[in-house]
Amino acid sequence: MLEPASSRPPEEQVVLAAERRQFLKRRWRGIAEDGTEFGFDLESRLADGGVVFQQDGKDYIVRQLPEVVYEVPFESPAHAALVAWKTGNLHLPAQIFDDRIRVLHDEAMAQLLDREGWAFTEPAVLFQPLKAMAHAV
């Protein structure tokens, strides 16, 4: 990335939209909204809103596309612990807030929600799950 965010006005920005999974890759290809093709071979991952190219007074920025997730509101601290524990056992990407958890839209999670009878919604959001750290100390 040239910059973490563009300082140019929106009319001077060209968007390269990408699914969340693209941001996890070091090598990938994409096409910006003006048809400009990009190929990435990265040392570090890109971030939503980052400037990847500048040309003719325009910033080319990469934007994460929204995706449908399961969102479960917490009813109490005990409920939050239960939801987090059972969801964690599925080993699915999750994003945790003070009052809710967002989890990857997956059949295993659908079955858990059905079995437990928890209230949930299925919003389309910019999903930014926690980074997995196997055997972190």
- Domain ranges for the chain, please list them: 10-64, 67-125
Q: What pLDDT score was predicted for residue 135?
A: 47
Q: What pLDDT score was predicted for residue 24?
A: 87
Q: Is 126 a residue whose pLDDT tops 70? A: yes
Radius of gyration of the chain (CA): 18
Q: Is 137 a residue whose pLDDT tops 50? A: no
The residue ranking higher by pLDDT, 35 or 130, is 35
Q: What pLDDT score was predicted for residue 130?
A: 87
pLDDT in tens, 20-66: 999 888 999 999 999 999 999 998 888 999 999 999 999 999 999 99
Q: Which two tokens stand for residue 57?
A: 């007074």
pLDDT in tens, 90-122: 999 999 999 999 999 999 999 999 999 999 999
Local confidence band at 136 (pLDDT 50, 70, 90 cut-offs): very low
Between CA 42 and CA 131 the distance in angstroms is: 18
Q: SS3 for 76-108, per residue?
A: CHHHHHHHHHHHHCCCCCEEECCCEEEEECCHH
CATH fold of 67-125, please?
Answer: Alpha-Beta Plaits (3.30.70)
- The CATH number of 10-64 is 2.60.260.20
* Mean pLDDT value across residues 80-92: 96
